Amino acid sequence: MVSEQKIILLSTPTSGTGSLWRILRTLSPKSYKSCELIDAFLNQGIKFEDIVHESIPKDFNVYLFNQPHLFNFQQDLSDFKFVINLRDPRDLICNQYHWIFVHPVAKEMEQQVEIRRQQVREQGISGFTRQRDISFFYNAFFKLFEKVPRENICVVSYAQLCLMSDTVIDNVASFIGSPFSADELEAMKEKEFPSALQDNPAWVSGTWVGSDLLPGRARIELSRATYKELTERYKPILEFMQQVDLKELSGVYK
């Protein structure tokens, strides 16, 4: 039975968001209308920092909100269910380092962005990750678990997407009451298996250097000292992820 509640994908900005957004929209009924909320608000002329005061428009069924620190928790959320996309903050901050050099920018911004890129080059990945703290992204997920009943939250981590994509598809399909048949789900699993994404033109890593297909990049790219420092900084977040992610993946966050 298809859920009567609307579905929000609440995600940190990370390379797994596109895959999960595609999965969610594909599994939804064809009649469902989708909305990428951050872009929609900006296109309405709303300033980025003012999005936190905006309520979710009710004329869609499936929503993407990939700036969780701007989510308005003062609004009534009883009509919504949430799929949340979480990634180890140590890995996410490594992604952000690489993104600075490869994300496309408007022509009028090129000079300003190049100055920033040079500053980051001089910092190196270790200096960048130590200087930048992304805890603010995750505060929204703590709030969500306080305000929304647990049965209305489906946790999909980046580790799940990479290592257990079949389970992700089954869990999301069940959570939203997808009308897909068992055979249709099996066909989708073949297309969404991580190693198959390289042939998908929508796969972000096919365009942007610095994306990855496995959890744990921070263990490889950072010095042991920096890795230990970030592990201590993000300890409350990592403990939270151990609790809400699948039990078999808890070791990823140690």
The whole-number pLDDT of residue 203 equals: 47
The whole-number pLDDT of residue 4 equals: 72
Per the structure, the complete domain to which residue 49 belongs is given by 6-88+134-212+236-253
The whole-number pLDDT of residue 151 equals: 96
Q: How far is residue 139 from each of residues 70, 108, 237, measured CA to CA in Å?
A: 10, 33, 9
- Residue 93 forms part of a structural domain: no
Average pLDDT, integer, range 125-147: 95
User: Residue 215's pLDDT band (boundaries 50, 70, 90)?
Assistant: confident
- Residue 21 forms part of a structural domain: yes
Percent of the chain residues past pLDDT 70, beyond the cut? 89
CB 18 within 8 A of CB 202: yes
Q: CB atoms < 10 A from the CB of 142, how many? A: 12
Percent of the chain residues past pLDDT 90, beyond the cut? 72
CATH code for the domain in which residue 29 is found? 3.40.50
Average pLDDT, integer, range 100-113: 75
Q: What are phi and psi of 47, to 5 degrees?
A: -70, 145
Statement: residue 208 has pLDDT above 60? no
Residue, of 105 and 22, whose pLDDT is higher? 22
The whole-number pLDDT of residue 211 equals: 60
Q: What are phi and psi of 86, to 5 degrees?
A: -115, 145
- Residue 222 forms part of a structural domain: no
Average pLDDT, integer, range 53-59: 94
Q: What is the mean pLDDT of the chain?
A: 89
Residue, of 205 and 221, whose pLDDT is higher? 221
The lowest-confidence range among 146-155, 173-182, 196-205 is 196-205
- Residue 16 forms part of a structural domain: yes
CB 75 within 8 A of CB 6: no
- Residue 146 forms part of a structural domain: yes
The lowest-confidence range among 70-79, 202-211, 229-238 is 202-211
Residue, of 112 and 131, whose pLDDT is higher? 131
User: Residue 190's pLDDT band (boundaries 50, 70, 90)?
Assistant: confident
Beta-carbon contacts of residue 218 (< 8 Å; ≥ 6 apart):
88, 90, 91, 93, 94, 129, 227, 230
The tokens for 12 are 């940190």
Domain count, the chain: 1
Q: Is 200 exposed, middle or buried (0-12, 13-18, 19+ CB in 10 A)?
A: middle
- Residue 166 forms part of a structural domain: yes
- Residue 227 forms part of a structural domain: no
- Residue 147 forms part of a structural domain: yes
Q: Which amino acid is at 17?
A: T
